[in-house]
């Protein structure tokens, strides 16, 4: 009769440390543009506004491609565009009860903050 002990089932042996899968968390992303949307005379933050971020992705061989990202503002009127390219971009802001806004910007800093001020539409009589 042969007696065989398995080390993994032996309670006195030290259990190997379980290693969680390493997640790649990049503390310094390539580019993150912050857009702050305010409105009215009191500069109150505009919540849930649609921010369209449009740019042209240039290719040397293929035809240039127009790219568009859509983000929403939070309670503080702030929207973040992750991995935004540097260069010329069109930023359009649409919010219910406010006039639409659109303007071309030159993004030069990877951590740039853009302030947008919305106005109320004129009264219709």
CATH number at residue 50: 2.60.40.1120
Q: Is residue 14 part of a domain?
A: no
Cα pseudo-dihedral 43, 45, 49, 54, rounded to 10: 70
Q: Is residue 38 part of a domain?
A: yes
Q: Is residue 109 part of a domain?
A: yes
Question: What is the percent of the chain where pLDDT is above 90?
Answer: 50
Q: Is residue 5 part of a domain?
A: no
Q: Give the integer Cα–Cα distance in Å for 112 and 35.
A: 9
Q: Is residue 72 part of a domain?
A: yes
Q: Is residue 83 part of a domain?
A: yes
Look up residue 25 and give its two tokens. 């968390």
Task: Say if CB 84 and CB 107 are below 8 A apart.
Answer: yes
**30-61 tens-digit pLDDT:** 678 999 999 988 999 999 999 999 998 888 88
- Which residue from 73, 79, 80, 70 is spatially nearest to 49, judged by alpha carbons? 73
Between 90 and 4, whose confidence is greater? 90
pLDDT interval class at 1 (50, 70, 90): low
Q: Is residue 71 part of a domain?
A: yes
Name the residue range of residue 59's domain: 29-118
- Which residue from 125, 86, 82, 120 is spatially nearest to 101, judged by alpha carbons? 120
Give the C-alpha distances (Å, rounded to integers) separating 90 from 3, 22, 54, 55, 93: 76, 37, 5, 6, 10
Q: How many domains does the chain have?
A: 1
This prediction has a pTM of: 0.70
Q: Tell me what the mean pLDDT of segment 61-85 comes to.
A: 91
Q: Is residue 60 part of a domain?
A: yes
pLDDT at 105 over 80: yes
Q: Tell me what the mean pLDDT of segment 49-74 comes to.
A: 90
Q: Tell me what the mean pLDDT of segment 115-119 comes to.
A: 94
């Amino acid at each position: 009769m042969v007696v065989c002990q398995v080390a993994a089932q032996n309670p006195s042996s030290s259990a190997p440390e379980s290693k969680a899968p390493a997640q790649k968390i990049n503390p310094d992303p390539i580019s993150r543009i912050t857009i702050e949307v305010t409105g009215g005379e009191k500069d109150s933050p505009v919540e849930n506004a649609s921010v369209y971020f449009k740019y042209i992705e240039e290719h040397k061989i293929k035809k240039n491609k127009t790219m568009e990202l859509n983000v929403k503002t939070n309670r503080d009127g702030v929207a973040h565009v992750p991995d935004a390219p540097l260069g010329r971009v069109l930023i359009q802001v649409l919010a219910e009860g406010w006039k639409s806004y659109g303007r071309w910007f030159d993004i030069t800093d990877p951590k740039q903050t853009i302030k947008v001020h919305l106005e109320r539409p004129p009264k219709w009589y």
